[in-house]
Each structure stands twice: as C-alpha cells, then as structure tokens.
Amino acid sequence: MKKSSGINGFGRFGLHLLKYWLDRNNEANFTIEYINDDSLSIYQAYEIIVKDEYVIFNKYKIKINGGELIFLEPDGGIHTIQYSNESKNEIPWLGKPDLFFECSGKNSAKSDCNEFLQGNTKTVIISATSWDPDITLVYGFNHEEYKSSHKVISYGSCTVNAYLPLANYLHSKYGVEDSDVNVIHNIQKYRLEENNTLIRKFCTLEKSATNMLSFVNDENFVVNYTVVPYTGVSMIDFRFRLNNKVTIKSLLSDLEHEFSEGSLKNIYSLSEVDIGPEVYNCTTYSTVFIKENVKIVNGNLYLPGYFDNENSVNRYFDLTQHTVSYTHL
C-alpha cells in the first residue's frame, strides 16, 4: 500500500516535484494527495502548471474542481490533489498524510518542522539544507543510514547532491587531497528584473561538505558560487587533486562503469560532446559531465558539468522512495 504525502510550498521545487512524481506515479511507492502554498491561490497555481516554459505538463489534461487540482492521464488515470492557500499553521490537511514534504524554503529549522509531525504524519522531508535535522540524507552517499527514528530529514541541496556522492567515490578510489567547486547558478524568472547582474553568494555546499565528508575541511575545500541573470540549466565544475596517479583513459573508463553499473548508477551521466546546457532541462541526473572536457593536469582532475538545479527533485524522489521502502520492511 502506498504512503500518502502532502507538499507545503508550490515554488519551483514543488512544481518540479509534482511533475516528476506524476511521470513516475506507477513506480512510486507514495502518492501526492495535498498541496498547500501560503501565497498562491489554486488559480495562480493552475496558471503556473499549464504555462511554465520549462516544466511541461502537456501530457496531462488539467482542470480545477472546487478546491482540487485534477490531472487526467492519456490512459484514463486520474490524480486528484486537494489544494489549499493557507499559512503553515492553518493547513487543512495537517496530520493526514504519512509524509510531509516541506518545500516552501521557509521552514528549514527542525523546530519549525516538528509541528508538522502530528496525526498520521511520521516523517518530514525538507527540500533544502537544514543545519539541525535528525539527519541529512544524500541519495547515493548516505541514504542507507536512514532509520525510522529519523523524523525530520533534510535532503541537502542541489549542489550537495551534485557533489557528495561523486566526491566520496573519487576519494575511495584515488584519494582526494583537496577540492573546489565552481557553480554558475541560474535565477528564477520572476527575479530577473531585480537581479540583472552577477552576484557572488554563500553556498550551503561549502559547510555541508565539510560537515559530512571526512576528507574535506575549511583548509582544502572552496566553493565559488555565482548567480547569473539567466533562467536555464546551471553549470557546475569540479576540481579534485588526487593522491593516486591515474590516466584520463583509465579514469573515464572507471567513471563510465560506475555511472552505468556501480553505486552511482542513475545519479550521474557522461555526454560525449558539449552542446550547451539546454538539452539537460529536467534531466534525471544530479550532474551530466562532458567527456571531451574532462582533464587531468598536474594531478588535478577537472570535471565540467551541467546540472538542472531546479530538478534536483530527482534525488528527493529517490530518497523518499528509499525511506518508504525501509518503513515497509
């Protein structure tokens, strides 16, 4: 029997999560039955769903029925989602679903999420970095550490999911002496007018990585994070100084095997040539690396890649699948 869930916050992450789940609802072990957003009415949410330029729902016929969003699949399948436009304390479905997806970006502290744990709701999964959850679980890195006693879980962030599993693999395989990450990050379309220049910002990866990985610290790890006035797929370039010598041919062979058959299967991918970021819109991978651009120079491995930071719901979905499967054991 599938677990039920509700989403609080229908911003970019919530929109992507709904689409990702709809496209995989047959294989999913959870349902999405509720959505709440404290700013958007059901009519505004409907407009976003049917008109968004990047998250395309044209496979579905969509309509509003009172306080419900109805999604009709081509094969006749129907998904009915109760929609509400209330503050967090007035959400009408509090305590009803098994899982609470906190996607508003406003409740990243554990104390904020504890109040969602009532009635049937046993687990809250935060779609952002939290500094005090019961545990931060990054799929492909430490998701198997999940226990049913973990009630408030952070999935990390888009950059955390892009970096940690790969960095952990490279360290176990070759040893990592130091590392840095350069992120060219997009911006939401509605913020373009107020942010029309480059902005250097703090990235939660810088603190999360040093908290979660034993081989990086404040002395050997740097993140350069720049927000640009652009709404498409983002760029993320990794550098690792490796302890063990390896040829580019051998390294690419190792990565191809790990990405197709190993622990990083379905998490990363290698593309042969660089044809720009647009083709990776809504990619299922945390990062797609460009094979022709991968280089080893003086012991430094350079891995340029593209990642659809908004669609890091791919790993959020995987993490939810794992937690639900675990509770069924």
pLDDT (tens digit, 9 = 90+) per residue, 173-223? Answer: 999 999 999 999 988 777 777 777 888 888 999 999 999 999 999 999 999
Q: What is the Rg, in whole angstroms, of the alpha carbon atoms belonging to the chain?
A: 20
The DSSP-derived string for 34-103 is: EEE-SS--HHHHHHHHHH-SSS--TTSEEEEETTEEEEE-TTS-EEEEEEE---GGG-TTTT-SSEEEE-
Can you give the pTM of this predicted structure?
Answer: 0.95
Nearest to 123 by CA among 131, 111, 134: 134
pLDDT at 327: 67
Q: Do residues 251 and 261 lie in contact, with contact meaning Cβ atoms separated by under 8 Å? A: no
Ordered alpha helix ranges (H), the chain: 12-23, 42-51, 110-114, 158-174, 204-212, 248-260, 313-328
Low-confidence ranges of the chain (pLDDT < 50): 329
| pLDDT tens digits, one per residue of 130-145 | 999 999 999 999 999 9
**Which amino acid is it at 128?**
A
Q: State the Cα–Cα distance between residues 126 and 104, nearest whole angstrom.
A: 9
Cα within 13 Å of Cα(275), Cβ side:
8
